[in-house]
């Protein structure tokens, strides 16, 4: 409890009385629980709105959107449903989002030639400029802030689509996980500024 410790038994008694009075406002325990769930949903809705606004305000001006890739979106959804890959995707979300934190890779390591999500062949900015190795037919590689994961623009776009769709469905388990992760990230980044 830290600095907000109760100083007397009377304070605890007062808290218990206020909770009891609040419960008396409702005719049944079920009604009380439904009200609590609704209030919780209002809080989740508020967090979801903050997260969406924050992502919208911090989009990258250099990011170019592609056509929608529904198969990649479904692959990300499937990955998120498995706990092991969910942790990995949350790591990517925490390091690529908001989109102003993801950058094009200037020089691609030799051991990373495919996107970690889509498996598309990727290339760096240097090879795009020079046209080496048919690199103009490959996808541009992106990286995040504190990660060594390299993914292509299509993967970022579909991950962003997945994140936005789950922000809006804040009542679902996936929506709650995404909103919680983004809320923590938003607070952490705001504390740094």
Kindly write down the DSSP assignment for every residue of 3-35, as one continuous string. Answer: T-----HHHHHHHHHHHHHHHHTSSSHHHHHHH
In a domain, 24, yes or no: yes
Those residues whose C-beta lies under 8 Å from the C-beta of residue 3, and which sit 6 or more positions away, are: none
In a domain, 187, yes or no: yes
In a domain, 84, yes or no: yes
Query: 3-class DSSP state for residue 151?
Result: strand
Report the pLDDT value the prediction gives residue 25, as an integer from 0 to 100. Answer: 65
- Structural domain count of the chain: 1
In a domain, 157, yes or no: yes
In a domain, 61, yes or no: yes
Any alpha helices (H) in the chain, and if so which ranges? 9-24, 29-57, 70-81, 83-96, 125-130, 153-168, 173-192
The residue-averaged pLDDT of 9-14 equals 68
Torsion sign across C-alpha atoms 45, 49, 55, 61: positive
In a domain, 134, yes or no: yes
Task: Name the pTM for this structure.
Answer: 0.76
| Greater pLDDT, 60 or 114 | 114
Those residues whose C-beta lies under 8 Å from the C-beta of residue 91, and which sit 6 or more positions away, are: 147, 149
Torsion sign across C-alpha atoms 160, 163, 166, 167: negative
In a domain, 3, yes or no: no
The residue-averaged pLDDT of 23-30 equals 66
In a domain, 177, yes or no: yes
Report the pLDDT value the prediction gives residue 3, as an integer from 0 to 100. Answer: 45
For residue 116, give its domain range: 9-192
Q: Is the pLDDT of residue 26 over 70?
A: no
112-133 residue pLDDT tens: 899 999 999 999 888 888 877 7
- On average, the pLDDT of the chain sits at 85
d(CA 99, CA 147): 14
Residue 2's pLDDT band, with cuts at 50, 70 and 90, is: very low
């Amino acid at each position: 409890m830290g600095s907000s410790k109760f100083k007397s038994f009377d304070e605890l008694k007062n808290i218990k009385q206020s909770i009891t009075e609040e419960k008396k406002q409702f005719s049944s325990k079920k009604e009380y629980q439904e009200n609590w769930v609704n209030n919780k949903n209002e809080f989740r809705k508020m967090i979801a709105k903050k997260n969406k606004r924050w992502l919208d305000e911090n989009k990258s001006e250099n990011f170019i959107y592609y056509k929608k890739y529904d198969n990649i979106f479904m692959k990300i959804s499937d990955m998120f449903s498995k706990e092991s890959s969910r942790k990995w995707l949350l790591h990517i979300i925490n390091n690529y989002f908001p989109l102003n934190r993801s950058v094009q890779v200037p020089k691609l390591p030799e051991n990373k030639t495919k996107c970690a999500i889509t498996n598309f062949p990727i290339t760096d900015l240097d090879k795009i400029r020079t046209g080496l190795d048919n690199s103009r037919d490959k996808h541009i590689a992106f990286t995040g802030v504190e990660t060594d994961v390299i993914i292509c623009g299509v993967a970022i776009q579909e991950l962003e689509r997945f994140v936005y769709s789950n922000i809006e469905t804040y009542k679902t388990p996936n929506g709650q996980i995404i909103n919680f992760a983004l809320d923590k990230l938003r607070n952490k980044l705001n504390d740094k500024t």
